[in-house]
């Protein structure tokens, strides 16, 4: 058990360490991921360090070996001469008790060290007789303590095993550590053998080895740095044009279509630049052509609308005259006159919407913002649509706060939006109440319009905002919508910097939410009301991921559709307080969706989930 616990602790600590290491190394890893330059230079440095280090080690090691081998050969050859001499000198002594033996030993050491070329360099010579304790060892230089140089193993090898042996030892001589090559050989005599040790300082060799090592190290380091520098320069030569190309491409994508790369030379990079420039030129040409076409199209629509208005006015005057005189006509003619009047009304509103859309497309639409109270606006909308509501048997319930809700909005456009939303809701209300809720917080004001009609099929949340979109084109309309109402509403909301979002499910009805900032120009981060109605939210799924996706969708919106009847709004204050929290996440993710194009592109993936639970096939909107 304790082991397991210990292991757990260890694992935990390990994880902490790893996490910290990751945290600490995060900038480095980021730099590693992002910079090709850095990667190439680092890899070059590492690889060249290994290579140069390996070669350096090899060279230094070989040099040292050669130096040592030379020293060994030298010492070996000298040693053999010395041993020969000592052997010959000791031949005259038949026993170790010969009283002249110590003299011979002493003289031999003196003679050998006097004739030694390395003697001035501090070489030592010692003649010992470890097998004959009565014979005192004699050393050429008494000032140096040779006992540290002659290890027990060395003496055992030479004295007991009769081997010629060597060893490297370091001792302090006058405070400086000096390396000695110790060479020992038995010296045969007629009574056994004594041992000759020759200790040669390796000062010169050591110095040479150190110099070689330092030279190799410095050269290697310089080589590595040079290689790194070289790699850096070469990579820079390649990476810089690529970076320029990347930057140019970014600018191009940001709309600066006249950005071009500099073509320098005839190499591959020049070819890349030339190709890139060609691509940019082609794109620019295409885009300009498409823009021109689009402009012409919008112009055409606008012109047509304007041009239709003049004859329409004339036709309208004539139609009004006929309509006013219809009682005097035969019933069939009178009916035609009524039909004519109705269709002319519809034609006129279609033209009005088209002109409005044209203004938006042409960028002529301007926000005329002022501090307005939204409560009367909502009430006014409900009032105007009350007739229609009554006709279709729908009650409009207003849930408005008791206090004024002041926001910096264009009241005309807000009213148009709400009229569209409430009109649509009444129209698709299926005789069930339509709830209009208003809520606000410090930053935003939200209005939701909830109906309990057929709802929306999965994916239709986006489509409802498309121009002239119909859920069921064959279905007869009770009121004549133009199919442009929600599109205009979306544009209006966008002018405010606000959101217009839809939610719906088959059989569960639909809810539209308008969110605008309290202060014009502020950026929206959250809506005070949830997009998904509270009843559906709880009924379907406590977690809101599908709706979160849905809310991001905003399509062209609909209707200026006639609102027949509007129920007075009931109080909806209770919703406003809790709404922002539950919808905070979706709202923030939907923030950029005030421009419709990117938002709509993100919709399909997220819209798929509620689709599985959607049952109804109620069209989202009607003209």
Residue 43 or 317: the one with the smaller Cβ distance to other proteins is 43
Which CB sits closer to other proteins, 186 or 458? 186
Asked if 78 interacts with other proteins (CB under 8 A), we say no
Binding window for other proteins (CB under 8 A); candidates: 177-185, 246-254, 282-290, 551-559: 177-185
Antiparallel, parallel or unpaired: β 124-128 and 138-139: antiparallel
Q: Give the shortest CB-74-to-other proteins separation in angstroms.
A: 14
Q: Who contacts 222 (Cβ-Cβ below 8 Å, separation ≥6)?
A: none
Shortest spacing between CB 26 and other proteins, in angstroms: 15
Distances (CA, A) of 62 to 70, 204, 220, 450, 507: 12, 16, 16, 90, 89
Residue 413 vs residues 447, 494, 496, 527: alpha-carbon distances, Å: 14, 11, 9, 19
Instruction: Considering only residues 206 through 225, tell me which ones interact with other proteins, judged by CB under 8 A.
Output: 206, 209-210, 213, 216-217, 220-221, 224
Q: Restricting to residues 553-572, which ones interact with other proteins according to CB under 8 A? A: none
Position 124 contacts other proteins (CB under 8 A): no
440 φ, ψ to 5°? Answer: -145, 160
Residues contacting 67, CB < 8 A, separation 6+ = 205, 208, 209
In angstroms, rounded to a whole number, what is the distance separating the alpha carbons of residues 281 and 295?
21
324 binds other proteins (CB under 8 A): no
Stretch that binds other proteins, among 51-59, 411-419, 536-544, 548-556 (CB under 8 A): 51-59
Choice between 166 and 452, CB closer to other proteins: 166
Residue (79 or 516) nearer to other proteins, CB:
79
Where does this chain touch other proteins (CB under 8 A) — which range of 180-188, 370-378, 381-389, 511-519? 180-188
User: Residue 265, SS3?
Assistant: coil
Residue from 147, 162, 275, 297 in contact with other proteins (CB under 8 A): 162
204 in contact with other proteins (CB under 8 A) = no
Q: Does 164 bind other proteins (CB under 8 A)?
A: yes
- Say which DSSP state 595 is in: S
Phi, psi of 228 (to 5 degrees): -60, -45
Among 78, 104, 113, 566, binds other proteins (CB under 8 A): 104
User: Shortest Cβ distance from residue 135 to other proteins (Å)?
Assistant: 16
Q: Which is nearer to other proteins, 25 or 286 (CB)?
A: 25
Residue 135 in contact with other proteins, rule: CB under 8 A: no
* Residue 496 engages other proteins in binding (rule: CB under 8 A): no
Contact positions with other proteins (CB under 8 A) in 361-390: none
Binder to other proteins among 8, 11, 34, 100 (CB under 8 A)? Answer: 100
Helix axes of 374-384 and 411-427: crossing angle, nearest 10 degrees: 40
Backbone angles phi, psi at 121, to 5 degrees: -80, 5
Q: How many chain residues are in contact with other proteins, going by CB under 8 A? A: 72
Cβ 133 to other proteins shortest distance, Å: 20
* Residue among 177, 255, 265, 363 that touches other proteins (CB under 8 A): 177
Q: Which helix (H) or strand (E) holds 125?
A: strand 124-128
**Closest to 149 (Cα-Cα) out of 129, 174, 125:** 125
For the beta sheet containing 396-399, the strands, ordered from the edge strand earlier in sequence to the opposite edge, are 396-399, 434-440, 444-451, 509-517, 499-505
Minimum Å gap between C-beta 510 and other proteins is 58
Contact 530, 509 (CB under 8 A): no
The single residue among 9, 46, 222, 233 that binds other proteins, judged by CB under 8 A, is: 46
Among 88-96, 339-347, 476-484, 615-623, the segment contacting other proteins (CB under 8 A): 88-96
89 Rama class: left (phi>0) / alpha (psi -120 to 50) / beta = alpha
Does 64 participate in binding other proteins (rule CB under 8 A)? Answer: yes
User: Helix axis angle, 2-34 relative to 36-90, nearest 10°?
Assistant: 110
Q: Which of 44, 49, 482, 558 binds other proteins (CB under 8 A)?
A: 49
């Amino acid at each position: 058990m304790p082991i397991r616990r210990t292991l757990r602790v260890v694992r935990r600590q390990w994880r902490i360490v790893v996490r910290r290491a990751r945290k600490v190394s995060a900038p480095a890893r980021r730099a590693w991921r992002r910079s090709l330059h850095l990667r190439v230079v680092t890899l070059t440095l590492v690889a060249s360090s290994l290579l140069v280090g390996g070669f350096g080690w090899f060279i230094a090691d070989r040099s040292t070996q050669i130096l040592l081998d030379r020293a060994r050969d030298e010492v070996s050859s000298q040693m053999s001469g010395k041993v020969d001499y000592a052997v010959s000198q000791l031949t005259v002594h038949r026993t170790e008790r010969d009283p002249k033996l110590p003299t011979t030993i002493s003289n031999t050491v003196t003679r050998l060290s006097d004739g030694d070329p390395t003697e001035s360099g501090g070489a030592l010579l010692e003649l010992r007789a470890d097998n004959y304790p009565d014979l005192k060892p004699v050393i050429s230089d008494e000032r140096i303590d040779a006992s540290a140089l002659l290890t027990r193993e060395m003496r055992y090898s030479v004295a007991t095993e009769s081997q010629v042996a060597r060893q490297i030892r370091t001792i302090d001589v006058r405070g400086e550590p000096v390396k000695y090559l110790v060479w020992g050989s038995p010296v045969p005599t007629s009574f056994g053998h004594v041992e000759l040790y020759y200790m040669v300082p390796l000062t010169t060799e050591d110095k040479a080895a150190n110099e070689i090592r330092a030279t190799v190290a410095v050269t290697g380091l310089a080589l590595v740095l040079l290689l790194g520098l070289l790699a850096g320069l070469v990579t820079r030569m390649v990476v810089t044009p690529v970076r320029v190309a990347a930057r140019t491409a970014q600018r191009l994508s940001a709309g600066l279509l006249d950005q071009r790369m500099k073509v320098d030379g005839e190499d591959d990079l020049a070819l890349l630049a030339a190709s890139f420039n060609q691509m940019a030129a082609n794109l620019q040409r295409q885009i300009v052509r498409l823009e021109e076409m689009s402009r012409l199209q919008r112009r055409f629509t606008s012109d047509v609308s304007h041009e239709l208005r003049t004859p329409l006015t004339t036709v309208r005057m004539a139609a009004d005259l006929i309509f006013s005189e219809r009682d005097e006509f035969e019933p069939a003619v009178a009916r035609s006159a009524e039909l004519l009047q109705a269709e002319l009304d519809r034609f006129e509103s279609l033209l009005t919407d088209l002109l409005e859309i044209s203004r938006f497309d042409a960028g002529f639409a301007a926000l005329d913002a002022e501090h307005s109270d939204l409560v009367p606006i909502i009430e006014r909308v409900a009032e105007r649509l009350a007739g229609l509501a009554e006709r279709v048997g729908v009650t409009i319930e207003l849930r408005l706060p008791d206090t004024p809700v002041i926001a910096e909005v264009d009241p005309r456009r807000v009213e148009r939006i709400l009229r569209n939303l409430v009109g649509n809701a009444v129209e698709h209300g299926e005789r069930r109440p339509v709830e209009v809720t208003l809520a606000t917080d410090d930053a935003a004001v939200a209005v939701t319009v909830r109906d309990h009609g057929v709802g929306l099929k999965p994916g239709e949340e986006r489509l409802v905002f498309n121009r002239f979109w119909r859920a069921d084109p064959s279905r007869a309309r009770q009121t004549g919508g133009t199919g442009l109402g929600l599109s205009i509403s979306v544009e209006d909301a966008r002018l405010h910097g606000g959101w217009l979002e839809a939610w719906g499910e088959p059989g569960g009805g639909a809810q539209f939410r308008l969110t605008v900032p309290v202060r014009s120009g502020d950026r929206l981060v959250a809506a005070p009301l949830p997009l998904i109605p509270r009843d559906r939210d709880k009924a379907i799924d406590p977690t809101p991921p599908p709706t979160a996706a849905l809310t991001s969708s905003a399509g062209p919106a609909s209707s200026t559709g006639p609102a027949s009847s509007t129920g007075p709004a009931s109080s909806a204050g209770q919703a406003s307080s809790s709404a922002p929290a539950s919808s905070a996440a979706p709202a923030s993710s939907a923030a950029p969706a005030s421009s419709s194009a990117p938002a709509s592109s993100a919709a399909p993936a997220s819209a798929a989930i509620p689709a599985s639970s959607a049952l109804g096939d109620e069209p989202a909107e009607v003209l």
